[in-house]
Structure 1
């Protein structure tokens, strides 16, 4: 069977009343994914790009229009004769996706609709480590509840919720296996959060760096780059790795724990219990201890405010801060060279405080990277700063929900499930 015959067969099956629900879902998803990657497209354009028959595309688009998941954007005239085309675009303004991140010293929120329109975005300071899992989950639930109410006021009901955690995560079960900087072990986060909120929608949990990498690959400074690494710039340092356009998870889903690369076996004790991990050299707490020894690191302090405070000192020429950032930059480049030698990314995107201090930090990191990468100039790897600041992981958590909805659109074909009353 030729490729064209295969697509025609699929199209005929999709248009048939007896077509399987799985095939229908696959074709609906195909159309939605295409529209996600383009501002607007005509039915003819969609048919040409996907290989589906035009009649099938018309039927699929009609269903998506009825469910308000796409919208027509006007008319488009092609040539002097012929019927005008009516382009359609991704819509779904009534379908919400809520992303949360809980980290050492803050909780962040990013809520959007299916088309990516931002509905709510905020970050609150919170000492997660000192609060323990029970109190932290209660606080996370309150923040989520407030975000849900804001999204509902904007006309969107969340159809899913994603949570980013600096931890090893059993994604399939939504269980935090080990979060060294939070001191969480085997915490069934998805189940407990769902029960606390009374949610009737899916709750997904993933590693913060993985989700930040997803956000960067989807819509960040390196959007579309098929080979990239994202590094969180938090108290801890995690990595999200994109290879051939896909997130690398590893055999058990625990890849990307680059912050626990041993770079100085005789160094300081890490939260994981080992000594000399990379994050003990480049994490925010390490920088504060060196750059601001008279102000011990306080987890409840907003990390962005602390980074901004250091940036002011750097801009004013504070020699101690400049020396501290240069030292962190060199360690960042050393660890980055290990990552580059292993995965050969085109770009290493840095977030969190790394991005805030990029002007002073990255020149040192880039120089050390170029010195230590085995392939030398042939590797063409560069550091670059994220535009998402400390919100990349929560944005990625919302993207995870949207991807799930687009991949399984029949879950939102019927009326969107509503959250139980709080």
Structure 2
């Protein structure tokens, strides 16, 4: 062994040089990412697309098949007289991934497997703003455990390969991502500050891990707007747009900023708190303790206060209405021509355009994608926002930026949280152990110790 050469052990293999293990992990990821992005392909096509030798691809494919991360899907013919090729596709139907979002008035769930099947998706009304971190984390743990049970049951029938799923534990959990409206220390899974939840220095990743009991699984925590922006960049209405801003349309307003195809995090990872831009020093007090923040003008709480003052946030009504229920009522009023609601939406729209112009002047995005209630009420809201934006941006028409309504609804952040976990697994397929005979084990699919709060990967260029 040469000086400085170290050994590491891969699951199901003997000792190998660390450099060899790293190279193999990179090549496995390259093959898996190609299948995720392009669908089923033959080994020869993968070799041509990735630049890897055909023998190397065949060897890598054997390991991915052993880990049940790919499946053979049939024969493809290369031309009229070409030799038939056996195609493979992404599988991972036994790998469970859970995306969660906790926000002011709800907990959202997006449960999937590595093959992309959505197995659990819902939102539960919950007053996180008035419950404090301890009660909120208990509720988050309860919802997570229930979703994990549903995920494992969903894998109990047949996998994507059509073979039996292996009993009541057909899916093993590989990771959980959690979206939170606030400043997050992603590397440690700590919510540094979430003003609208009243949280400060909450070790969410470690505390959720404890709440999950015997389900030992890595937990990642990130800002809700960042995760929603990643979801939009990957699969939303402006997917692949290299310069874009995503705005949450919740009680609080956050922003995820994509610049040149990469999520902008800033020096400490706290960028995107656009809802706390001061736009009216004489305005109402914000949850952060300052006056006149942008979210006091355009957040859902501001719209509800103006459009339906008898149902304003903070009145202590129980049970807590789902945000979509609140917005649906306002939409019905707008469709019926309610003057109070029409005036409220016009006011919010103008403030949305004003804040948007600041973002355009700073970052020059091609689109501003709006989610949450902004998207639901887009037909009434965005004309006012677009007009104000065009009136206030310095570059004028040359900037060519427009507001676009998201089609991911209130579930964008939980979808993004699940996507981050999927990206981590695609980046390191060796995190999923080889298939074993007998029922799949409920718990971490990861080989080796679970890592709490890994840094979320950046999106790659389209």
- TM-score scaled by length of structure 2: 0.85
8 Å Cα contact 1:159-1:417 kept in structure 2 = no
In structure 1, the residue matched to 2:4 is none
Q: Secondary structure at the match of 1:275?
A: coil
In structure 2, the residue matched to 1:120 is 120
In structure 2, the residue matched to 1:226 is 242
In structure 2, the residue matched to 1:241 is 257
In structure 2, the residue matched to 1:263 is 279
In structure 1, the residue matched to 2:450 is none
Choose which of 288, 297, 302 in structure 1 pairs with 2:322. Answer: 302
Name segments (4+ residues, structure 1) moved above 6 Å. none
8 Å Cα contact 2:245-2:365 kept in structure 1 = yes
8 Å Cα contact 1:95-1:159 kept in structure 2 = yes
CA–CA separation in structure 1 for the residues paired with 2:207 and 2:175: 15
In structure 2, the residue matched to 1:210 is 226
In structure 2, the residue matched to 1:96 is 96
Instruction: State whether structure 2 residue 288 is matched by structure 1 residue 285.
Output: no
Q: Which runs of 5+ in 2 are unaligned?
A: 1-15, 156-170, 445-462
In structure 1, the residue matched to 2:442 is 418
In structure 2, the residue matched to 1:109 is 109
Q: Secondary structure at the match of 1:235?
A: coil
In structure 2, the residue matched to 1:30 is 30
More relative contact order in 1 or in 2 (CA 8 Å, sep 6+)?
2
Deviation track 1:345-378 (CA, whole Å, cap 9, x = no partner) reads 1111111111110110011111111111222222
Q: Secondary structure at the match of 1:74?
A: strand
Q: CA deviation at 1:80?
A: 2.9
CA–CA separation in structure 1 for the residues paired with 2:244 and 2:90: 27
CA–CA separation in structure 2 for the residues paired with 1:214 and 1:376: 28
CA–CA separation in structure 1 for the residues paired with 2:434 and 2:308: 55
Moved more, 110-119 or 217-226: 217-226
CA–CA separation in structure 2 for the residues paired with 1:345 and 1:53: 40
In structure 2, the residue matched to 1:55 is 55
More helix by percentage: 1
Instruction: State whether structure 2 residue 70 is matched by structure 1 residue 70.
Output: yes
8 Å Cα contact 2:68-2:434 kept in structure 1 = no
8 Å Cα contact 1:200-1:417 kept in structure 2 = no
Instruction: State whether structure 2 residue 194 is matched by structure 1 residue 179.
Output: yes
Q: Which runs of 5+ in 1 are unaligned?
A: 1-16
8 Å Cα contact 1:129-1:181 kept in structure 2 = yes
CA–CA separation in structure 1 for the residues paired with 2:380 and 2:70: 45
In structure 1, the residue matched to 2:409 is 389
Deviation track 1:161-188 (CA, whole Å, cap 9, x = no partner) reads 0100001000000000000001101000
Q: Secondary structure at the match of 2:311?
A: coil
CA–CA separation in structure 2 for the residues paired with 1:44 and 1:245: 30
Q: Secondary structure at the match of 1:85?
A: strand
Q: Secondary structure at the match of 1:73?
A: strand
Choose which of 310, 315, 319 in structure 1 pairs with 2:339. Answer: 319
Deviation track 1:31-51 (CA, whole Å, cap 9, x = no partner) reads 111111112222222222211
Deviation track 1:371-412 (CA, whole Å, cap 9, x = no partner) reads 112222222211111111111101111001101111111111
Q: Aligned pair count?
A: 405
In 2 relative to 1, CA 95–375 (structure 1 residues): closer, same or farther, beyond 3 Å?
Answer: same
Q: CA deviation at 1:417?
A: 6.1
Q: What root-mean-square deviation, in Å, do the aligned CA atoms of Structure 1 and Structure 2 show? A: 1.6
Q: CA deviation at 1:73?
A: 2.3
Q: CA deviation at 1:297?
A: 2.5
8 Å Cα contact 1:158-1:418 kept in structure 2 = yes
Choose which of 358, 363, 373 in structure 2 pairs with 1:353. Answer: 373
Choose which of 168, 186, 193 in structure 1 pairs with 2:208. Answer: 193
8 Å Cα contact 1:148-1:157 kept in structure 2 = no
In structure 2, the residue matched to 1:371 is 391
Q: Secondary structure at the match of 1:97?
A: strand
